[in-house]
Structures are given as C-alpha cells and as structure tokens.
C-alpha cells in the first residue's frame, strides 16, 4: 500500500524524456507516459532538478558497445535516463521508514535511472539522502555524478595529506569535484584547464594552475604522487615521466585501444609507477559524505547552463561538445 500526498496532481501520467533506441541526442523525445507506482519499499519523488551528464550520454549513445551488456543489447532497457536528482517525496511505500512525504531529497541512481521525468521512483535504501538545508534544488541535483567518480578514484589512489596531485580537466564535472575533494584530503593540487577558467579553478582551491592552451602539463618539471586525468585526454605513457617513483595514474577514459584496462593489469607487475582503473561505485554512505561536505561548504558543485525538460536534446548536444564547465542542469519544475 502506498500513501499519497494530497495535492491536485494527476496520478496517472507524467511528462518524461524517453529514448527507445540508441543514438544521437535526437533519439530523445518528450512524451506523456505512465507515472511510476512505488512498491512497498520505494519512494515516489517529484523531480525538481536533474542533470544531463556524460553517464547519460554514454548510456543513450551506447558508443562503447560493451555498455550494452548492462543497458540492453539491441535497445535500451531503461528508456528514461537521468541518474542524479533533487526533488520532493510525494508518496512512500508502507514499508518505508527512512523518508516521509514532503521530504526534500537528492541522490544518485545509475542502475534504473529515471530522473529525466516529472516523477521518479527509487528504493528508499538507495543512494539517497535528505537535502542539505543550505543548498538549492539546483545545487543538490548536481552533487553526486561527477563527485562520486572523483571520490572513487581519489580513494583508489589512497591520497594522503601533503601529497602532490595533478588534475587534468579540472573544469569538468569530475575534475571540478576532484580539485575540491583533494583539497579536503589535504593534497597539494595542480589543476589543468583552459585560459578562460583559470580563475574558476583557483577559486575551487587549486594551489597551482596550468593553462593547457599555453603549455603541455606532461612537460612540467614538477613530479606527482597522483596524476588524475579527469577528462581522459592523456595517456599513461605521456604522464609516466611526471609521476614520482611510486606515483599513480588514473584516467576516466579507457584510452587508445582500451589500453587502460590491460595497463592496470601489467604496470603493477613491471613498475613501481602504476596505472589503476577502479570500477566506480556509489553507496548511500558516499551520498551522506557528499552531503556533509556540501553542508560545510567544503564541496560546491560547479553549475554551467540550465535547460527545461522540453529542451533536453539541446542539453545533450551541449554536454557532448566536451566543453561544459562542471554540470548542466535540467529544471523539471520551475515552481520550486
């Protein structure tokens, strides 16, 4: 049995961005579809804000064929994308103890997605938390995607206070989160970005900035405990010389001919310098951790453009330019 919040909303259908086949942004259409009905252990959330991010792009395009083993071999299993969200709980299954109707929540779900819609259902024990009180729906919606990838890679590299870290692509969703999370860990951060964003990256806490339009970071005289290529534009081979003796390299991309997969297996056997390829994972604890950092203003997601749900194809096109600064929002409910 499900308790519903009494309000004049239509309980049967909702507006959603759906894609029934893999392909370019244009495969996404706005349709009226059945509103999800939460099971006994699920919440129904009225989505206020969500993002279009590189995870959505990857699942929509199925550019890497291997991703189809998760998302559906011939056509997408999850037809409504959208993995991070902020919104209001409007219904709870009768076994739900953690949340109540009216709660403002945010979270992440890259298993069933569904946030590119007016309503989203999600297990109450998922990667979801009450919204930080000092954050808007817009900021809360962008708290988890880039940050959980950054968190996963920083943990894999076992970054310690005082270590020297280089972040390439410090203006992306992952990179801009990584700079802030690394500073929180006490690392000394060199960030790589384009000329226009040098001041932004300094404001995130970077100790040193390299403008990639003016110099090649792989030729710097500095040496690093950890080189994190948050936009996957470099290679282990090109960065090996700037790693310290026991330095670690991580990229967010597979690399040329998927070399980062096999280099992760080979480098620990042949060198003290290593490439790691951690598999990303997000838990509820991670969401609580990010919430705590956001409450303390230690971490603040960088927000670039915002679009309405009707403009989602344009949002996808912009994200796929590879030039977004931080996060691109979809405002589903303008009233909140």
Ligand X SMILES: NC(=O)c1ccc[n+]([C@@H]2O[C@H](COP(=O)([O-])OP(=O)(O)OC[C@H]3O[C@@H](n4cnc5c(N)ncnc54)[C@H](OP(=O)(O)O)[C@@H]3O)[C@@H](O)[C@H]2O)c1
Binding site for ligand X (CB under 6 A): 53-55, 58, 146, 149, 168-169, 171-175, 192-194, 197, 212, 230-233, 252-253, 322-325
Q: How far apart are CA 110 and CA 279, in angstroms?
A: 13
Beta bridge partners of 331: 49, 308
Helix H or strand E encompassing 328: strand 327-331
In whole angstroms, the minimum distance from the beta carbon of 134 to ligand X comes to: 24
In whole angstroms, the minimum distance from the beta carbon of 217 to ligand X comes to: 8
19 or 324: CB nearest ligand X: 324
In whole angstroms, the minimum distance from the beta carbon of 42 to ligand X comes to: 25
Q: What three-state secondary structure class fits 188? A: strand
Q: What is the residue-wise DSSP string for 91-160? A: EEETT--S--TT-EEEEE-SSS---SBSEEEEETTSEEEEPPTTS-HHHHHTSSHHHHHHHHHHHHTT--
92 or 178: CB nearest ligand X: 178
Q: How far apart are CA 276 and CA 157, in angstroms?
A: 8
62 or 92: CB nearest ligand X: 62
In whole angstroms, the minimum distance from the beta carbon of 109 to ligand X comes to: 14
Q: How far apart are CA 198 and CA 100, in angstroms?
A: 43
81 or 91: CB nearest ligand X: 81
Residue at token pair 């000394």: 188
Closest CA to 215 of 197, 233, 234, 192: 192
149 or 299: CB nearest ligand X: 149
In whole angstroms, the minimum distance from the beta carbon of 144 to ligand X comes to: 12
């Amino acid at each position: 049995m499900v308790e519903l919040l009494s309000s004049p909303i239509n309980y049967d259908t909702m507006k959603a961005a759906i894609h029934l086949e893999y392909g370019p942004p244009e495969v996404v259409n706005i349709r009226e579809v059945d509103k999800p009905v939460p099971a006994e252990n699920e919440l129904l959330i009225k989505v206020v804000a969500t993002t279009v991010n590189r995870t959505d792009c990857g699942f929509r395009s199925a550019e890497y064929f291997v991703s189809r083993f998760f998302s559906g071999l011939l056509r997408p299993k999850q037809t409504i994308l959208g993995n991070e969200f902020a919104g209001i709980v409007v219904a709870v299954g009768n076994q739900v103890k953690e949340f109540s109707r009216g709660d403002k929540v945010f979270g992440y779900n890259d298993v069933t997605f569904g946030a590119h819609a007016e309503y989203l259902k999600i297990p109450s024990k998922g990667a979801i938390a009450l919204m930080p009180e000092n954050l808007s729906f817009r900021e809360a919606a962008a708290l988890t995607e880039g940050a959980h990838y950054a968190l996963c890679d920083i943990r894999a590299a076992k970054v310690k206070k005082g270590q020297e870290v280089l972040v390439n692509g410090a203006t992306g969703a992952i990179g801009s989160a990584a700079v802030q999370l690394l500073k929180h860990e006490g690392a000394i951060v060199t960030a790589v970005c384009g000329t226009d964003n040098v001041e932004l990256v300094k404001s995130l806490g970077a100790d040193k900035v390299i403008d990639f339009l003016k110099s090649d970071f792989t030729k710097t005289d500095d040496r690093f405990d950890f080189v994190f290529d948050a936009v996957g534009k470099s290679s282990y081979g090109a960065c090996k010389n700037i790693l310290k003796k026991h330095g670690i390299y991580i990229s967010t991309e597979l690399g040329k001919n998927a070399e980062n997969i096999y280099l992760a297996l080979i480098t620990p056997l042949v060198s003290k310098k290593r490439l790691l390829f951690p598999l990303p994972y997000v838990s509820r604890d991670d969401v609580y951790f990010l919430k705590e950092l956001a409450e303390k203003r230690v971490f603040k997601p960088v927000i670039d453009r915002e679009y309405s749900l009707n403009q989602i194809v344009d949002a996808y096109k912009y994200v796929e330019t590879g030039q977004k600064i931080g996060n691109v929002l979809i405002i589903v409910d303008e009233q909140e």
